Amino acid sequence: MSVQQIADRALLDLGKRLRAEHYRFVTPTPLTHQTYLQRFATPLAKDWRDVFGWSMPFDHTLFAVDELAVLERAGIVERDGAMWRSTVRWSSLEGLLFAHSAYPTTQSDSVFFGPDSYRFAQLIEAHLQQRFEPIRRVVDIGCGAGVGALVVARARHDAQVLAVDINPKALRLSAVNAELAGANNVSVYHSDILGSVEGQFDLIIANPPYMNDGQQRAYRHGGGALGEALSLRIVRESLPRLDSGGSLVLYTGVAMVAGQDPFLDAVLPMLTGDAFGWTYRELDPDVFGEELLKPGYERAERIAVVALTVTRRH
């Protein structure tokens, strides 16, 4: 095996152990995470939940010597002065475990998981409960840790589920998470939107970054004036790839300006005519309010998360 394969195997083994020990951690927003850590004068992990959930530094005595050595060689933990830190977090979602980037997610190739992931999963499950036609081929655009792909794969065992992303780290973690879940019907591909995958789909799902991020980190930055550009591109490139009866389920965020929804205004021209039926609603009217203090958001009143579902008529 290659060095990378050995590292991924170690991460998978860690996930199996955490699952066997009934590990559970619900990942909050970065602001809540920061607030929680501020309660400690000097945060120091007392158990694996502190290490792999709250991303606290830990003393080497928390692990057996040989176990710590394996984790270090795999790049799962690293030295932090006299202490150690995990480079990954593990989060639980409806019986599944997901490896993703540790807090704080400052690196440009960080892999996101947070409250949006839980809402995205709920949106997908609601759609699947309302759809009774066969779902043969699915793609999760910008899969990140693989949340959408695994939710569909678990619910539709006969479906071929593609998890695509431009971030190699996301593809690695999605593959590990899929193997841990026993989701043999998930395949990962490096693709910019749908550029590297062919054919039509019965279901296209996406939870893209939607912030206007000054550092332009891939997992946060949506591009455009207020982070909307990537979401618009996903709609534009996905609609022609929907099979008859197929649906696009898009979870994204919108910076509202003067009481108006600029994302919906831009999407509507793509949905005119009789080819598509669609629904659109706000799932949460006010998220990540601290972002409004940052440059670029001077005109925004609030950031809402929305769900757009588009279905190609037969």
Asked, for residue 97, whether it belongs to a domain, the answer is no
Whether 105 maps to a domain, the answer reads no
Q: How confident is the model at residue 39 (pLDDT cuts 50, 70, 90)?
A: very high
Same domain, 63 and 168: no
pLDDT band at 108 (very low <50, low <70, confident <90, very high): confident
> How open is the CA angle 164-170-176, to the nearest 5 degrees?
100
The answer to whether residues 192 and 61 belong to one domain is no
pLDDT in tens, 217-247: 777 777 888 889 999 999 999 999 999 999 9
User: Within 10 A of 141 (CB to CB), how many other CB atoms are there?
Assistant: 26
Q: Using the predicted structure, report yes or no on whether residue 215 has a pLDDT greater than 80.
A: no
Return the pLDDT at 273: 86
First CA to last CA distance, the chain = 48
Residue 174: count other Cβ atoms within 10 Å of its Cβ. 31
**pTM metric for this prediction:** 0.96
- Are 174 and 258 in a shared domain? yes
Contact by Cβ (8 Å): 302, 254: no
Q: In this structure, is residue 212 part of a structural domain?
A: yes
For residue 137, is it within any domain?
yes
Residue 11 has a pLDDT of 97
Q: Is 100 among the domain residues?
A: no
Average pLDDT over all residues of the chain? 95
**In-domain check, residue 234:** yes
**Whether pLDDT at 214 is above 80:** no
Torsion over CA: 106, 107, 108, 114 (sign): negative
Same domain, 154 and 37: no
Question: Which residues constitute the domain of residue 271?
Answer: 115-312
Q: Are 79 and 138 within one domain?
A: no
Per-residue CA distances from 216 to 110, 178, 192, 231, 233 (Å):
12, 28, 16, 15, 17
Q: Residues 53-75: pLDDT tens digits?
A: 999 999 999 999 999 999 999 99
Number of domains in the chain: 2
pLDDT 10s digits, 253-279? 999 999 999 999 999 999 988 999 999
Q: Is the pLDDT of residue 216 over 80?
A: no
Is the confidence at residue 3, as pLDDT, over 90?
A: no
